[in-house]
């Protein structure tokens, strides 16, 4: 309820599983072909934006007192985000996936860090929170088929398919405040939408 990490993992797996249309190389069959979805999820043990689990719990206590996630980290003597992506880049190189990738992220710092590590980013795919999609169908959506396909999949709030947690849409004031902080204080490239702009 306080962050979108689980939902982002779930949505990343869903997006990676989507079929990929590729142009035909055959003059005899000029129509595009579709290949099975593919991709990789790289898990890094960097809880709490790299500050560790204990500090993240302390940051949650500060958030309970009214501070946002950035201020809480700074009050504990940490940077707003202490993560590094050297290990992720090494894993992707080992897998042979450094030649050009679609990176699923809203975080401009992550894009820049991966490029500094020598990764070629051909496209950044936006990760719009499900609760924002279900409350505002006009938001730009990632994935094959766009908004119509997503709406057909969710049937309002549930996504069928290759997901770990079933694709439920979770929302609440703590999560909306966290997402708003990511956009306004950390520069995440995400369309800002709230039912109440003062939240």
**Euclidean distance between CA atoms 175 and 11, whole angstroms:** 16
**Active-site choice (83, 93, 102, 135):** 83
Reduced to 3 states, what is the DSSP secondary structure of residue 20? strand
**Euclidean distance between CA atoms 84 and 97, whole angstroms:** 18
**Active-site choice (4, 68, 81, 176):** 81
Cβ atoms of residues 48 and 74 within 8 Å: no
Active site residue 83: yes
- Closest to 128 in 3D by CA, of 162, 97, 151, 152: 151
Active site residue 174: no
Residues 6+ apart with CB under 8 A from 181: 68, 69, 70
The bridge status of strand 101-104 relative to strand 33-35 is: unpaired
Q: How far apart are the first and last CA of the chain?
A: 15
Catalytic residue set: 81, 83
């Amino acid at each position: 309820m306080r962050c979108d990490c689980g939902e982002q993992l779930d949505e990343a797996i869903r997006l990676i599983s989507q079929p990929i249309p590729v142009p035909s190389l055959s003059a005899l069959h000029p129509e595009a072909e579709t290949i099975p979805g593919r991709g990789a999820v790289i898990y890094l043990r960097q809880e709490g934006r790299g500050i560790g689990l204990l500090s993240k719990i302390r940051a949650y206590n500060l958030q309970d007192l009214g501070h946002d996630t950035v201020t809480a980290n700074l009050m504990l003597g940490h940077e707003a985000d202490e993560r590094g992506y050297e290990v992720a880049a090494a894993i992707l190189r080992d897998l042979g996936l450094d030649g050009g990738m679609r990176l699923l992220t809203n975080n401009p710092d992550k894009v820049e860090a991966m490029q500094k590590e020598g990764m070629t980013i051909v496209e950044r795919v936006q990760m719009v929170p499900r609760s924002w999609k279900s409350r505002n169908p006009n938001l730009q959506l990632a994935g094959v088929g766009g908004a119509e396909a997503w709406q057909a999949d969710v049937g309002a709030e549930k996504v069928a398919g290759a997901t770990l947690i079933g694709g439920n849409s979770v929302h609440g004031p703590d999560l909306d405040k966290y997402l708003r902080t990511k956009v306004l204080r950390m520069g995440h490239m995400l369309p800002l939408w709230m039912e109440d702009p003062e939240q």
